[in-house]
Amino acid sequence: MLSDKLDPFINRYNEITELLSSPDIGNDIKRMTDLSKEQGSLLAIYTKATQYKKVLDEIEENKALAFDAELGELAKEELKALEPMVDVLEDEIKKLLIPADPNDKRNIYIELRAGTGGDEAAIFVGDLFNAYVRYAELKGWKIELMSTSPSDAGGYKELIALIKGEGAYSSLKYESGVHRVQRVPATESQGRVHTSAITVAIMPEVDDVEVNINENDLKIDVMRSSGSGGQSVNTTDSAVRITHIPTGIVVTNQDQKSQHKNKERAMKILKARIYDMQMEEVKAKEMSERKEQVGSGDRSARIRTYNYPQNRMSDHRITLTLYRLEEIMQGGLMDDIIEPLIADMQSKLMEASGL
């Protein structure tokens, strides 16, 4: 019963309240700080749990009075108002009981790569990135380009950016996967629809201390930059390529004129990729130990199709179809995709947790 599962949270919150009101707590600042943080983390579930239990108690009281000659009609009116609140509160509480994703409050690296489709795929990398940029602007997030590999036909063969802001990871973490686009390329004289694909990877930004890299495990090459990038392009060995030998991960950065800055950015991206790889390994292990998989988690899976002739966007994980592609690519309707994805994942997590 859900009510019974809430007792430990209520009891612990009340216990912390007593501890914090103890006259001796001021002598131990660290313990006081730790307890205050713990209480803060319990506040949401405590508030909803106490409200839920109060509603259940009031329902029982009004049921007992429902057939009372004097108070029966009033009790029945109260029940009409109280009973719908139970389902709403239960749904809110179940979401709060889902184990928090430790990365949800992190900034992210977003990496877009052109796949099948040649020039058209590279152009779509630029188009989809611009949609994410507009969405980020609406959210008040900041974006910093970390590494780009422009395509001669326009767009990018590869693009990596850092997105900073509250909720960046929790909002965009389900964007990882293959994004397919169907449209008539500008170079297509016969008006035929071409299908191209790009991959998107979302990786949480990590602190330097979170991923320990042995310098002996790195192979660092410096070279002349290629493509657009300022006056120093092709004149100095400013581009940096770092290979992490144990994992085979390779990161190249040439966007900055300074070799030092390119190396610094490449190392940050490398650490994010290693952390992301470690997370995927843990996730795969958890899924193999669990009968019911929650979500695909397969980065190679086709997750979404953007069909320009039909002005249609389809997300294949939740069979969501919206005929407002133009608005989606302007960033304004991104939440209409992201929110159903989050709701679906929460539902699956609740089911897997037996809630």
Neighbour tally for 67: CB within 10 Å: 10
State which of 31-35, 134-138, 220-224 shows the largest mean pLDDT: 134-138
Does the structure show a pLDDT above 50 at 229? no
Q: Which of 298, 290, 289, 330 is nearest to 317 (CA)?
A: 298
Task: Please determine, for residue 298, whether its predicted confidence score (pLDDT) is greater than 80.
Answer: no
Q: Which range has the worst mean pLDDT, 76-85, 259-268, 344-353? A: 344-353
Beta bridge partners of 304: 179, 315
Nearest Cα residue to 136 out of 170, 165, 107: 165
3-state secondary structure of 250: strand
- Concatenating the DSSP letter of every residue in 22-75 gives STTGGG-HHHHHHHHHHHHHHHHHHHHHHHHHHHHHHHHHHHHHTT-TTTHHHH
Which region among 216-220, 245-249, 349-353 has the lowest average model confidence (pLDDT)? 349-353
Q: What is the pLDDT of residues 313-328, one digit of tens each?
A: 999 999 899 999 999 9
Per-residue model confidence as pLDDT tens digits over 194-214: 999 999 999 999 987 788 888
As beta bridge partners, residue 160 has 111, 147
| Residue range 101-110, pLDDT digits in tens | 888 889 999 9
The reply to whether 2-97 and 108-288+297-350 are identical in fold is no
- Which band of pLDDT confidence, cut at 50, 70 and 90, is reported for residue 295? very low
Q: Is 158 helix (H, G, I), strand (E, B) or coil?
A: strand
Residue 20: is its pLDDT beyond 80?
Answer: yes
**What is the value of pTM for the model shown?**
0.75
Across the range 226-240, mean pLDDT stands at: 59
Lowest mean pLDDT across 145-159, 224-238, 269-283: 224-238
> Taking 50 as the threshold, does the pLDDT of residue 244 lie above it?
yes
Domain boundaries, the chain: 2-97, 108-288+297-350
Cα maximum dimension of the chain:
95
Q: Span 108-288+297-350: which CATH code?
A: 3.30.70.1660
Query: What CATH topology corresponds to 2-97?
Result: Methane Monooxygenase Hydroxylase; Chain G, domain 1 (1.20.58)
Residues of the chain with pLDDT > 90, as a percent, come to 60
Q: What is the pLDDT of residue 77?
A: 92
Cα→Cα distances 195→18, 141, 155, 177, 306, Å = 63, 32, 16, 16, 10
CA dist., res. 269 & res. 244, Å (int): 12
pLDDT at 227: 55
| Backbone Cα Rg of the chain | 26
As a whole number of angstroms, the distance between CA 313 and CA 112 comes to: 18
